[in-house]
Structure 1
Amino acid sequence: MRDQLVKAMQRNQLVNMMYMAKDGTFSKRRVKIIKVAGDNFQAYCFTKKAKRTFMIDNILAVVPVIHKEREVVC
């Protein structure tokens, strides 16, 4: 999981993640990773509109956000 986070940070890529909070609740977050250090990472969370620190062990899934441009064919 750590390798995926580092790659996303290096590519300046947004990711969607499923995360389990300390109290056991689950949430889906869209984040931009700022820094990976030790067993946690800092990211800007678009859900909360703030910088947050997440524990790597509490991540259940990470999926890169892929933007596809659509063309209008006339």
Structure 2
Amino acid sequence: MRDSLRQKAVEVCDKKIAQKGDNVGISFYAFFKNKNDTPEILMEAARWWIETHRLDHFEKAVKIKSMIEKGE
């Protein structure tokens, strides 16, 4: 996953955790605007989430943040 996407994902996780606590769930769609203006980056996130890690549609934001920070 490219660095800019990793940074954005961590920012989104931090924001969601701050708003709703450690049990908040997210999907990779949370990293994007409603308008799909960067399909290649969306697919990169989808591959990381679905193909590489076989994650459920919703996962805990703390789990995703931890995985990203570890470089998984």
Query: What is the TM-score normalised by the length of structure 2?
Result: 0.27
Higher Cα radius of gyration: 1
Structure showing the higher helix proportion among its residues: 2
Instruction: Give the structure, 1 or 2, with the largest relative contact order (CA under 8 Å, sep 6 or more).
Output: 2
Query: TM-score, with normalisation over the residues of structure 1?
Result: 0.27
